[in-house]
Amino acid sequence: MTTVLVIDDSPSEMVKLRDMLAKNSYKVLEAVNGQQGCQMATDHIPDVILMDVVMPEMNGFQATRKITHTEATAHIPIVMISTKSQETDRVWGKRQGAKEYLVKPIDETELMRVIRMVTE
C-alpha cells in the first residue's frame, strides 16, 4: 500500500485530502505544519508527500527544500498543493524540489493521476 504524507495546516483541507486518498486505497499520514512534516518524512519515509505552501512556522517551500536536500528523504517525490496559483509560485515550488504543483481546489482524478505519475 502506498503511503502518502499530507502536510497541511487547514483541518478542512486535511479532511478532504484524507477522504480522497483513503477512498483510493492510500495509507495517509498527517502533519499540520512544515516542521512536523519534515520530521515525519524522516521518521516514516512515505512514498509521496502532498505539501501545502502557506503554513505557519515553516512554509511549504522551506519544508520542500529541507526534505529534498536531506539525504534520507531526498528521493521522496513532493507534490505541492496550494491556493497560490501564479506561475512564479509553480516555478519556485519546482525549484525547491517539488515534482508537481497543483492548485486548490483539488480535483480527485487529477490528484490520483499525479500521485501515480510521481510514484512510478
Position 56 scores a pLDDT of 87
* Superfamily of the domain at 3-119: Response regulator (3.40.50.2300)
Reference 114, options 1, 4, 19; nearest CA is 4
Is the overall model pTM greater than 0.85, yes or no? Answer: yes
For residue 100, give the amino acid letter: E
Quote the DSSP letter at residue 107.
P
Cell 499530507 locates to 6
Q: Could you give the angle at which helices 60-68 and 87-95 cross, rounded to 10 degrees?
A: 30
3-state DSSP assignment of residue 119: helix
pLDDT (tens digit, 9 = 90+) per residue, 1-46? 999 999 999 999 999 999 999 999 999 999 999 999 999 999 999 9
d(CA 1, CA 16): 20
Whether the pLDDT of residue 58 is over 90: the answer is yes
